[in-house]
Amino acid sequence: MSSRSCPNVEKIVADIVSKAHQDDLKLPAALIRFFSHDCLVKGCDASILLDATASHEPVEKQAQASEMLRGYELIDEIKDRVEQECPQTVSCADILAFAAREAVFLAGLPRHMVPSGRRDSRTSRASDITIPNPTTPFDEIIDYFSRRGITIDEMVVLSGAHSIGIAHCSFFDYRLYTFNKDQPQDPALNASYASELSKTCPKPNTLNPAEAKQRNVELDPTTPLVLDNHHYLNLLQGKALLQSDQTMVTDPRTSGLVQQFALDPESWARRFAKAMIKMGRINVLTGNVGEIRKNCRAIN
């Protein structure tokens, strides 16, 4: 619907994202995460973009799990340009979906189709954010995705986005130093890789909080700016930063796909595009539900 009623919208998004990417090569990872975060909370409704709502409750972007999200200003820039071209025609939710598609393209995969017609939520609550973290039990992670219509296989496919982006030390340093009482270091972690990680991420409490917060590591040590199947190769080599990713190697429900995608990058790329399209359909608002915001940060 957005593409028909505002024919230039996808080109506008592509041009602005491409220009921003020239100065920020890590932008694709940020935008894919941004889009995923919005869709997986309560649907692809741009609720993550709101600064405030009529209820005056803390909004999604104020939740701890949203602290590392970035790209708000870029979405603002796109929305401003789109409003000049087609006033109150294209939703912020569609803009976020188009931007994520451009991120996938700029990171090395073909452009995929993005259905449009989403509307924007008028609500946003920090308390709605229950996104799993790397230590969440694997069964709970599977259940989380399942309740949003994402299958186990699609969850494994989407995890391939971890071939770009970063992880802050606090998300995995326990695997280096305090894994359990018998084994300080996670035995699933490649020993030489762990040694390299410890140089960037020393034991907790050895750095001041401000410095510790700035420490991070590339999720993929091989091709950190390219969206490819190296995520799965890393898993098989014990080079997954996140424990939840490493578990996919040993869990019988997921191990076969990890091995398949490690050997067949084209198969993974095709399925990744399909999974992104499906994720972009989670609990979308249509018809008269929601609105098309004039400003992505505020309800009309």
Reported as a single tens digit per residue, the pLDDT across 118-174 is 999 999 999 999 999 999 999 999 999 999 999 999 999 999 999 999 999 999 999
| Boundaries of every domain in the chain | 2-130, 138-276
**Token pair recorded at residue 69:** 């999200």
Give the sign of the dihedral formed by CA 261, CA 65, CA 23, CA 91.
positive
pLDDT score for 3: 60
Active site members: 37
Instruction: Please check whether the domain covering 138-276 is classified as CATH 1.10.420.10.
Output: yes
- Which option is the CATH number for 2-130: 1.10.520.10, 2.40.110.10, 2.60.40.290, 1.10.10.60? 1.10.520.10
pLDDT classification of 210: cutoffs 50, 70, 90: confident
| Amino acid making up residue 180 | N
pLDDT classification of 213: cutoffs 50, 70, 90: confident
**Token pair recorded at residue 208:** 């001041």
pLDDT score for 2: 63
Q: Please check if 56 is assigned to a binding site.
A: no
Q: Please check if 173 is assigned to a binding site.
A: no
Distance CA 235, CA 81 (A): 41
Q: Please check if 41 is assigned to a binding site.
A: yes
Distance CA 294, CA 288 (A): 16
DSSP for 108-175 reads TS---------BB-S---GGG-----TTS-HHHHHHHHHTTT--HHHHHHHGGGGGSSEEEGGGTTHH
pTM for the structure as a whole: 0.95
Distance CA 73, CA 29 (A): 16
